[in-house]
Structures are given as structure tokens and as C-alpha cells.
Amino acid sequence: MPTPLEARLQSLETVLQQANISYQSLSPMADTGLAHDHVWIHRDGGDWVARLPKQSQMNLAPADNLAYEAACYERASQGGHVPRLHGLLEVSSALPRGGLLVDAIKGRLAQLPEDLPYIAETLASLHQLPLPDQPAPLLAPNDPWRAMREEVGRQAEWLDQADLSATVISRIRDELAALPVELPDAERCLISFDTHPGNFLIEAQGRAVLVDLEKCRYGLPGIDLAHTSLYTSTTWDLNSQAVLTLEEVIGFYRRWQAAMTPSPSAETLVACRRATWLWSLTWCAKWRAQHLRAKDAQQRGEDWSAELTDPALIDHVRDRVEHYLSAPIIDHVQNELQRLRVTL
């Protein structure tokens, strides 16, 4: 009886052969994320990686999710700092959620703070891309700030189901209520919406490559800047954890601003940072409430069941979730936001 991993590799082999895609060998990669399995495809002319969804973080049906992810790579790779898309593995009985074939990137994990300048340049290359005439299938709300506030609000509905203390819930709700209704400058651009440092690889020549894209949209660039440098992002990944000083955060923002003309106001950037932090906290509450559920046997949309992921990674996620939802860490991020507002 093959293990789940062996069965997944056998299915991938079958699909690649049916698609007449030649390769030398397949190597499963470490299970480091909640949304995809990854397999390194060794082949003449350049290696690829197969990205095989475990679920849809956009809560889309399998074929729609695959099309969305493909659009993320097609659009973002035009900036030169994202793997190129080489093809889709269609949804089938062998691969119920399909898969993507993208460039394999040979590089090391990002280390902070020393790699922040490279990451700032990569984000600027993404945010400077021109808006397309037809943004679909990617999300492109007319009012991206309102859309962000509404998304955080929907996730906040899980606070009461996450078995949190009344004090923590109250403090998060107070922060939600403090978000401004409007921003002075809320110009849209292509953003990743998932730029925590563990999603970057640094090549030998110093280029930072954003390798994990599935939630791109046309939104506010301050969300990406926040997701890269917030405490809840820089301490998420086991292999690239760091606690940034306020000066390092400001230096990161300044490096990005130097490449952007014009740059959003400090008010807008700090508001995006607060909203992104609250998005992370409310996601933690949602995961806390959902991860013990059985996996969706029909493999449809979003699915945070722990059954889909290596137990060691689940233990790590659980540790981070408990940490970020603790009162001392909420204090830490609140203090940083207050100091950043007067110095950025």
C-alpha cells in the first residue's frame, strides 16, 4: 500500500507522461506550507517545480483556483522576479486539484535584515507593473481599502469560535474599530498579498525571487510591505525568523519608496500595516477554529484541516498562532505601529 506521498508522486508521473512532458526524475520537496505540495522536476533544459494545491486559499473550486494561480504567475513574472509559468496540469481523477509547472529557483532562504534591500527591489518590480485592461480573473476591487477592511471583518467573525480570552478578543475588536474608513491615497497596483519572508529565495547574484503566488490581486502596495516586515511575518517561518528593529523596518520602507514614484503617504502605509496585522490575527483565529476539522473529501475550496499537512508543520503553525494571539505580542505590535506612525 503506497503512502500518501508515494501515491501523489505516482499520480504526477502518470499525468506528466500523458502530457508528453519529459523529465529525468522527481524529488518531493519538504512540506513547508498549508496550501501546496511541491515536487522538483529534474529535466534537461532547466528544472521545474510542480505546485500541487492541497486547498484553495481563495475558496475557489479546483479548476477556478488553478486558473487564478496561473494568472498570478503570468502577471507577476512580467516584473522579472517571479518564476515563469510553463504549464497547467488540469484537474483530473489523478490530480483532483490539478497543478502548475513553474521555474525551479536555485537559491537560499531569505535572511533578515540583510536581504531586505533585495526584497524591497522585488516588491517594487511587482508594484510598478502597469494595470491591465482586463484584470480578471484576479481580484480588482474599485475600492481596495474597503475590500481589505471587509475581508478582515469576515475573518473576524471567527474570533468568538476560536476559544480565545475575552481580553484578547476585545483588544482585537478595538483595533478593528480604529481602522480608518477612507485613505488619502489608495492607488491600486498588482500585489502578492502573501509576502512573508519565507516565500522568497535569494539567488547567488542577489536577486530576491518571490516563489509562492496564489493570492495576487490589484490592491494596495502597503499590504505587501507590511506582510514582509511585520513581527507576525518575520517570525513565521522556522528557517528565516527574525525580529526587526524599528530602524530596520523604516530602512526597508525607504528602499522601496526610492524605487516608487509616487509613493503612498505615511498615513496610508501605516493603515495598511495595521490592517495586514489584523488580517493575520483574524486568520489565526480562523485557523484555530477550523484546523481540527476532518479534511474535505470532495476537495473543493478552502480547507484548513490539519490532516492535509505534515504533523510537524501543524505543530509549528499551532505554536505561532498561540504566540501571535497572546497579549504580550499584541502589545509589541501595537507599540511598533505607534512609533512607526511618527517616524515613517
Q: What's the longest Cα–Cα distance across the chain? A: 61
C-alpha distances in Å from residue 37, one per residue of 51, 91, 217: 6, 15, 23
pLDDT score, position 3: 65
**pLDDT for residue 303 is more than 70:** no
CB neighbours of 203 closer than 8 A, spacing ≥ 6?
Answer: 105, 106, 107, 209
| Mean predicted lDDT score pLDDT of the chain | 93
DSSP, res 47: -
pLDDT-based confidence at residue 157 (cuts at 50, 70, 90):
very high
**280-301 pLDDT tens trace:** 999 999 999 998 787 877 777 7
CA distances from 45 to 41, 104, 211, 249 (A): 11, 12, 20, 40
Does the pLDDT of residue 116 top 90, yes or no? yes
Output b/e per residue, 257-290; b: 16+ Cβ within 10 A: beeeeebbebebbbbbbbbbbbbbbbbbbbbbbb
Distance CA 54, CA 51 (A): 10
CB of 97 within 8 A of CB of 45?
A: no
- Position 102 scores a pLDDT of 98
**Residue 79 has what pLDDT?**
96
Nearest to 26 by CA among 46, 3, 50: 50
pLDDT digits (tens, 9 = 90+) for 158-172: 999 999 999 999 999
pLDDT at position 7, please?
80
Q: What is the DSSP string of 219-258?
A: E-HHHHHHHHHSHHHHTTSTTS-----HHHHHHHHHHHHH
Burial of 17 (0-12, 13-18, 19+ CB in 10 A): exposed
pLDDT in tens, 31-55: 888 888 999 999 998 999 999 999 9
* Least-confidence region, from 13-27, 30-44, 99-113, 316-330: 30-44
CA 77 to chain centre: 16
Close Cβ partners of 118 (under 8 Å, ≥ 6 residues apart):
110, 202, 206, 207, 208
The three grid cell numbers given for residue 186, joined into one nine-digit string: 489608495
Tell me the three cell numbers of residue 240: 528565516
Backbone φ and ψ for 160, nearest 5 degrees, come out as -75, -10
Domains and CATH numbers, the chain: 4-103 (3.30.200.20), 108-343 (3.90.1200.10)
Closest-CA residue to 248 (of 261, 263, 234, 260): 234
Residue 250 near residue 343, CB atoms below 8 Å: yes
Query: Among 29, 207, 12, which Cα is nearest to 100's?
Result: 12
Mean pLDDT calculated for residue range 216-226 = 98
pLDDT above 70 (res 1): no
CA angle 290, 296, 297 (to 5 degrees): 155
Q: Which residue has the cell 503617504?
A: 265
> Tell me, what's the pLDDT at 41?
97
What would the mean pLDDT of 319-325 be, rounded to a whole number? 96
pLDDT for 277:
98
Sorting pLDDT into bands at 50, 70 and 90, what band is 323? very high
The answer to which of 11-20, 59-68, 212-221, 302-311 has the lowest mean pLDDT is: 302-311
Confidence of residue 142 (pLDDT cuts 50, 70, 90): very high
pLDDT higher at 127 or 344:
127
Contact yes or no for 246/320 (Cβ under 8 A): no
Per-residue confidence (pLDDT) for residue 318, from 0 to 100: 93
* pLDDT tier at 218, thresholds 50, 70, 90: very high
Cα R_g (the chain), whole angstroms: 20
| First-to-last C-alpha distance (Å) of the chain | 58
pLDDT band at 304 (very low <50, low <70, confident <90, very high): low
Residue 297, pLDDT score: 74
Q: Reply yes or no on whether the pLDDT at 250 is more than 80.
A: yes
